[in-house]
Structure 1
């Protein structure tokens, strides 16, 4: 008997993380990774979200309960009891982030992607090279819109686990990607250009339909159909930057699959990220009304 198709608006694929964060004299341990930040951000904007991930036996079940409370489906998250969850030590110094990989869970394999899983969009967002090309090929077949976060592909780790950036040479991923998100340094690793505008144009030449380059407090640029859109940042006092890029992307995709204008989607992403970074705590996400209020102000600034 064939399995019933399980349909979602968005599937987020990649590792959860246990983040050990230093903010000045403050020490915080909490859940992280795109399956948390992107998924909850999208769910708060009213889309049906599932996560596909792997965690170790040390992953607190309370974190999964939080996701369920946020209406995120966790049925496709595997718990591998005899390994540890991917874990990072993250230290902030004047908004500069230094990261060290402390543990790495098993990677995502093609057979981990259920044949009956379907979505409007899939967001493939590794954080430590846990998605090989074979798994990417399987994931892209579950959705019409294939979104990719470059962070996990451009990272390398030295013998002590310190995170460094590397050139991303395997352009096969880019040929079949609808939307790619990279920060300024990651975009340079992919394109060879330090100028984010030139980087976005170069990445599009590899076959990416839409390129988003996030620029921290300067906002983001969005390149599609041969045009650059500048997305403003909403001015806030920063409390905690962790997860900002993931929230931006989760909110962006949530609006994009509703058929909204890409520039509006970028403003919603920027607004959602602004709320996250000005707050402390685990559930720093905004709700739909406050996100849209800020997004409308940003959208009005775009010429």
Structure 2
């Protein structure tokens, strides 16, 4: 089974804090880490960890951060041969502030991510066409459109892109086979409040499968006019980074292997539950066996 992820390639610097410092105030961090990041990167590493032949199409700068990123993905068994190296620009960088008991805050410099172009997608047409699944994550609409001209793909547009390009994203929904959204993204994109109403409205544009992640309220999928809803697994959250991306990777693998929609959601919930219970990093990504065990413990057969 071969998956191709398309999207941003970033280096994440995570700062863990008890509180945000005030103006002209200095405090000690609980911890500071650096890792490869970006939704597509997280998806690709998660896919590799659950036994999938994993590729990524992205753009990096020819700098030390880019080298760090490449080495991180190679260690995670992701094929990086199709990454573009852009000269004269810096690799994308994200500063993530994790304050105890609060949602994370992110500050981003897109850098070389902006250099990925429709022509780069066309140059990689053969890889895209040959994959079992192609997953676009936080890509600009022109990149999504180029991919969807080649084949159907799954798409996780992300809130930042929805806020910036809502109308264009809406116009492309009918070409995407599956859409992954969190609850706030679904509300923003559709203009509805109830998650089921969000999914129904998006489905009217032609999207075959809408999957909405709702955190502690679980997840749902709207497929062929039917709503499938699964409860969340209670968990003490340590780090939410990449949870939605491993959710998508596991859901897509389960769908490819012929699991029911409900079981796909349960497996994806189990994967994201394990992920958020651990500090970030490749080693924190669960294996397929761990995911199946978690599903069995909480949901039963």
Q: TM-score if structure 2 supplies the norm length? A: 0.85
Structure 1 stretch displaced more, 108-117 or 277-286: 108-117
Distance 1:124 1:167, change over 3 A: closer
Number of the residue aligned with 2:131: 119
Q: Output one character per residue of 1:220-258: Cα deviation in whole Å (capped at 9) or x when no partner.
A: 111111111112222221111111111111111122222
- The CA distance in 1 between the partners of 2:177 and 2:298, in whole Å, is 24
Tell me, yes or no, if the aligned pair for 1:125 and 1:152 is still in contact at 8 Å: no
Partner Cα separation in structure 2 for residue 62 and residue 167 of structure 1: 31
**Segments of 4+ moved more than 6 angstroms:** none
Aligned to 1:148, what secondary structure does the other structure show? strand
Q: Are the equivalent residues in 1 in contact too, given 2:10–2:69 (CA < 8 A)?
A: no
* Residue in 1 that maps onto 2:146: 138
C-alpha RMSD of matched pairs (Å): 2.2
**Maintained 8 Å contact 1:151/1:182:** yes
Write 1 or 2 for the structure with the bigger share of helix.
2
Q: TM-score, normalised by structure 1?
A: 0.84
Q: Which runs of structure 2 are paired with 1:196-211 in the superposition (5 Å)?
A: 196-211=195-210
Q: Structure 2, unaligned stretches of length 5 or more?
A: 18-28
Taking the aligned partners of 2:259 and 2:251, their CA distance within structure 1 comes to: 10
The DSSP-based 3-state class of the residue aligned with 2:246 is: helix
Deviates more, 1:75-84 or 1:53-62: 53-62
Q: Trace 1:146-161 onto structure 2 (pairs within 5 A).
A: 146-151=153-158, 154=161
Q: Does 1:296 align with 2:296?
A: yes
Please state how far the C-alpha of 1:57 moved relative to its aligned partner.
Answer: 2.3
Which position in structure 2 is the counterpart of 1:33? 38
Q: Pick from 68, 77, 83: which aligns with 1:77?
A: 83
Aligned partners of 1:268 and 1:53: how far apart in 2? Answer: 28
- Residue 99 of structure 1 corresponds to which residue in structure 2? 106
C-alpha separation in 2, matches of 1:39 and 1:233: 24
Report the structure, 1 or 2, having the larger strand content.
1
Corresponding residue for residue 264 of structure 2: 265
Shift of 1:166: 5.2
Alpha-carbon distance in structure 2 between the residues aligned to 1:90 and 1:194: 28
**What is the CA distance between 1:167 and its match in structure 2?**
6.9
User: Contact 1:95/1:241 (CA < 8 Å) preserved in 2?
Assistant: no
Q: Which of these residues, 85, 92, 102, is aligned with residue 86 of structure 1?
A: 92
Q: Cα 1:293–1:239, aligned 2, differ >3 Å: closer, same or farther?
A: same
Q: Partners of 2:165 and 2:72 in 1: how far apart?
A: 36
- Tell me, yes or no, if the aligned pair for 1:167 and 1:189 is still in contact at 8 Å: no
Name whichever of 288-297 and 55-64 sits farther off. 55-64
Mapped to 1, the partners of 2:203 and 2:104 lie a distance apart of 28
Distance 2:298 2:196 in 1: 20
Question: What SS class does the counterpart of residue 198 from structure 1 fall into?
Answer: helix
Does the CA-based 8 Å contact 1:109-1:132 persist in structure 2? Answer: no
Deviation at residue 174 of structure 1 after TM alignment: 0.2
8 A contact 1:107–1:131 mirrored in 2: no
Whole-angstrom distance in 1 between the partners of 2:77 and 2:98: 31
Deviations 1:4-62 (A, max 9, x none): xxxx6211000111222232233322211123211121122222211000011232424
Which residue pairs with 1:193 in the alignment? 192
Other-structure match for 2:16: 23
